[in-house]
Chains A and B, each alone.
Chain A
Amino acid sequence: MSDQDAADQRQQASIAALERGELPLAAQQRIQELRAGRTAWTSDLTVAEMAAIGHAGFEPVGMVMGSSVYRIAAQWGYSTVFGGGQMVAGGRVRTYPCPHGFYYGSGVGTEHRTGYNWEHRYYEAGITETRNLALRRILEEAHGLGAHGVVGVRIIRRHLEGVGNSLEFTCIGTAVRRRGGPQLRVPFMSHLDGVAFSKLLHGGYVPVALVMGIGAMEIDPGCGTEWALRSWSNSRIQQISDGIEEARMLGINHLEGEVATVDADGAVGVETDLATYELGGESMLVELFLLGTAVRRYAKEPLDEPPLLIMRLR
């Protein structure tokens, strides 16, 4: 039992450390050991990736990680929003009035109503905050190792089963160091693998940071949309098309904003992920998630000779 007490105590101390903005105890301990050089370095790079970064003058220092589990507060539905529940200030709202000539509150029952598409800013903010915490922790681990950057960052983004409204955001990658390079204030981060990283450097670009864009639109269909969904003829559903279009645009805008914030020239390897969630009733949430590596040019010309053309005999 005393073993269990000790484990509980340690756990409480670890949670307290997280709340103070520090890393959990196990992380602090592992980073210290790696830093002291008492143990072997670790790397989730493949052998080919290792050879590639070695060729670019880098060596692995250790695997690093940042993780956060967040509760994303969800208050769906335009009534909550317009009832003052959550801020929507500055978010996009588009209305789809009843095409049959009735309007909300005219006393014709629930059959006729106005549809709303609106940007769920609070949801977007929640996801961004979760991401920021995870990134801060992985950077802290990398900084603790005296690394210059983290390559091959893998993102785990998921809902924890059985835990209401939870979002886990975890990033894992390999911290690398350039032999003889000075310590950077903020290590760079890239979701590109080691081989792509090396190619990028030879092409005259350096990775700067992981950038993300999120666009979340709640679609509360109006009666026009619902009637169109039940129609026997093929037709374009205006409100849902608009909602998806807008989520896409918001996501891209936010990604571009982050690229500008880190003073980069652009983003490469951007991955997009479009998800829709049912919110109960007829409402749904459309979420577009973009992730890329922001890059900055450091050399006027690519350093390598042009690629050799090959044909495989197979």
Chain B
Amino acid sequence: MTQQEDSPQPVEVSTAPLEGLPKDALRRLDELKGKDALFTSDLSVNEFLLVKEAGFHPRGLVVGSSIYHIGFSARGWSSSREVQTLTQAMYAARELAMSRMEEEAAVLGADGVVGVRLDVGFYEWGRGTAEFLALGTAVSAEDGGNWKTTEGKPFTSDLSGQDFWTLLQSGHAPLGLVMGTCVYHVAHQGMFQAMGNVGQNKEMPNFTQALYEARELAMERMQDEAKKVAAEGIVGVQIQEKSHVWGSHTIEFFAMGTAVRKLPDREIATPRMVLSLDR
């Protein structure tokens, strides 16, 4: 394998700071613009048909990415605490990826982005360096109605095509993905304190407090974001817990969901129970 490795080819890299979108992205988006342009999407056939049924047309895949250094070492920390630098980095990196994706959607003139996936990936070449990637399908309303957020930006949502259809039917419209994160360091020292009186079942309040607090903070921050966009509520919240590259005692608690607003005069039809004869 190593013998066949090509010598690195010089690549032309622009040293200009990243202002707006890369040139290649703009060229790709240009081809997708126009009224009769082809579209790309990662929707399944069922999702595609339901998005059409909901009165939307897919415009194109949109993507945003940011690479962030999130290395960290907690040597010598004797108490549990929030790692604020990491909290901020994890948040800012996702926010940046999302805003680049939104920008792509805006270039397309789309009303929103559905099926957004937000991934964090680590590469072997960069210790503690992570790529934050946001990817989704931009859609436009066929009747030309206004679905954009109050700031005039396209809405974003991690809902599938099916969920998107159901949401509209039930009288809600997506406003945007909202998220909150909290990176917490749970101190090792407690281990020895805990071993002190073996023989007795007992709560370990320092650990309870650390995990409890971290999740609550992530949820509260997500709530604050929803408040900012004047949402009625947040649906489909997921809470993820990951240690990424920091070892098991430093954990990111990440909460994310789709903020929704109420649509006037919509009532969902009564669902009927069905029993499938297939097996």
Contacts and interface: CB of A to CB of B under 8 A. Distances in A.
A30 B255 CA distance: 14
How extensive is the interface on chain B, given as a class?
Answer: 35 or more
A164 B199 CA distance: 13
A195 to B, nearest CB: 9
Contact of A67 (B162, B206, B211, B223): B211
B167 A47 contact: yes
Contact of A163 (B159, B191, B232, B275): B191
B259 A44 contact: no
Nearest to B218: A26
A163 B202 CA distance: 14
B204 A69 contact: yes
B190 A163 contact: yes
**A7, A14, A55, A166 interface centre (most CB from chain B within 10 Å):** A14
Interface stretch (B15-23, B66-74, B265-273): B265-273
Contact of B268 (A51, A71, A162, A199): A51
A195 B200 CA distance: 42
A111 interface: no
B236 A46 contact: yes
Interface residues of A, number: 73
Contact of B207 (A14, A54, A63, A163): A163
A170 B211 contact: yes
A166 B166 CA distance: 43
Nearest to B192: A164
B215 interface: yes
A310 B274 contact: yes
Binding site secondary structure of chain A? mixed
Interface string A293-305: 0000000000010
Contacts of A75: 198-199
Given A8-B79, A166-B194, A307-B275, A42 B237 contact: yes
Interface stretch (A88-96, A125-133, A236-244, A260-268): A125-133
B177 interface: no
A44 B238 contact: yes
A30 B220 contact: yes
A185 interface: no
A166 B234 CA distance: 33
Lowest 4 CB-CB distances: which A-B pairs, in order? Answer: A69-B207, A26-B216, A126-B201, A40-B226
Given A40-B223, A69-B207, A308-B275, 10 more contacts: A11-B80, A24-B213, A42-B226, A46-B236, A47-B166, A55-B270, A69-B208, A71-B204, A164-B195, A304-B273
Interface of B: 79-82, 159, 162-164, 166-167, 169-170, 186, 188, 190-191, 194-195, 198-209, 211-213, 215-217, 219-220, 222-224, 226-227, 231-239, 248-249, 257, 259, 268, 270-278
